[in-house]
Amino acid sequence: MWSNENFIGGHIALDFLNTVGDTDKSRSDNLITSPDVLLDWLTASNTEVEDAKGIPPSQDDVDALVRFRELAHRVLSYSLENNTVEPDDIQTFEAQIKSSLGRAHLDLGTAPARWITAGDNSHYWIDRFVLLVEGFLSSPEAAKLRQCEGCSWFFLNSGRGRGRRWCNMSTCGNRHKVAAHRKRLLDGDQR
């Protein structure tokens, strides 16, 4: 189910936020539908699955992750568009991060140090992904965050100047080129 095309964000947190299959901005095609699909995604993303310490995700965990994914997506999309984030969304987003940080511990054995979730709590799965997103937002990479002009996916733009406009040139970029070509033909421009 998962291929390299699903991991173009440039950061695992962005790849998680991109786990929808839409080719537009609707985000109605959720790809994380069950605990098994979540574990498959983790394996395909080369993220350690064994650190769950025997806590398999439940369907409630998956549902909570999808709700958080959509909340985080709305907050980041608004910020990229320089729009005001809905007050309820930002309060819920901040509260989720604070709660997850409150249950986490600082791993000083990594460089740089990072917050990790305790493997023995009932919030393990949501905390794991909230801390992943929080880690991205507090990293220097967050300044390179962009959203595809064709779909809802996020990616890191490391190009000079304006740089990338599409999550993937072979999908969204190609659709844009085809649409522009058709428009030129309809307008009588034979370039």
| Structure confidence at residue 111 (pLDDT) | 84
Residue 191 falls within a domain, yes or no? no
| Structure confidence at residue 165 (pLDDT) | 79
Average per-residue pLDDT for the chain = 87
Work out the average pLDDT over 17-38: 93
Q: How many domains does the chain have?
A: 1
- 54-58 long-range contacts (CB < 8 A, ≥24 apart) are 54/119, 55/119, 55/120, 55/124, 55/125, 57/125
Q: Which string of b and e fits 12-36 if b means at least 16 CB within 10 Å?
A: bbbbbbbbbeebeeebeeebbeebe
| Structure confidence at residue 190 (pLDDT) | 59
CATH of the domain at 64: 1.10.3300.10
Boundaries of domain holding 182: 4-186
Residue 95 falls within a domain, yes or no? yes
Residue 163 falls within a domain, yes or no? yes
Counting residues of the chain whose pLDDT is more than 90, the rounded percentage is 59
| Structure confidence at residue 1 (pLDDT) | 84
Work out the average pLDDT over 139-156: 92
Residue 88 falls within a domain, yes or no? yes
Work out the average pLDDT over 117-126: 85
Work out the average pLDDT over 1-17: 93
**pTM: predicted TM-score of the whole model, two decimal places:** 0.87
